[in-house]
Amino acid sequence: MTDDETSCLTPEDMLCFDVYALAQAFGRLYKPLLDPLGLTYPQYLVLVVLWSEAPVTVGRIAARLGLETSTVTPLLKRLEAAGLVTRRRSASDERRVEIGLTPRGGAMRVEAAHIPACVEEATGLTSGEIAHLRGQLTDLRRAFGAL
């Protein structure tokens, strides 16, 4: 890049800015959907993992979400304090902590069932367009070595 090209650079010219701004917008979209459930977005993601495969280890949750276990553990502690998950040492390997859903945590899946449709509607995109965009984003994540 020449000096002239870099001197004209604005945030709006940067792909990373669009991704960042979109992440912020998603946060604003999810907040009123999750507040009635008493959940933050990261907590919701943990529950989504558990709704699809519980019980599961802390390491598996972290891997599915592309997070460090040190980031997931405090989320799990808060979800446990809220009565939504259980944490138990594995009987076969005490180094592993298995996470399960309480009846209340499992029932929350029904309470949160409307959220994906609300988000899809807010995008203004068709299901096909969303699938295509998600494919492109997945390819980009993989190109960066993420999830």
The confidence score (pLDDT) of residue 97 equals: 86
Nearest CA among 132, 131, 140, 48 for reference residue 85: 48
The confidence score (pLDDT) of residue 62 equals: 95
- Mean pLDDT for 8-14 is 89
Dihedral angle computed from the Cα positions of residues 38, 43, 48 and 53, in that order, rounded to the nearest 10 degrees = -120
Q: How many CB atoms lie within 10 A of CB 63?
A: 15
Answer whether 43's CB lies under 8 Å from 99's CB. no
Nearest CA among 80, 76, 72, 125 for reference residue 102: 80
Answer whether 27's CB lies under 8 Å from 122's CB. no
Kindly tell me the sign of the dihedral angle through the C-alpha atoms of 102, 104, 105, 106: positive
Does residue 17 register a pLDDT over 80?
yes
Q: Average pLDDT of the chain? A: 92
Nearest CA among 68, 69, 100, 104 for reference residue 84: 104
Does residue 147 register a pLDDT over 80?
no
List pLDDT tens digits, range 18-76. 999 999 999 999 999 999 999 999 999 999 999 999 899 999 999 999 999 999 999 99
pLDDT category, 2, cuts 50, 70, 90? low
Does residue 3 register a pLDDT over 70?
no
pLDDT category, 91, cuts 50, 70, 90? confident
Q: Which residue has the tokens 């090209």?
A: 5
In this prediction the pTM is 0.87
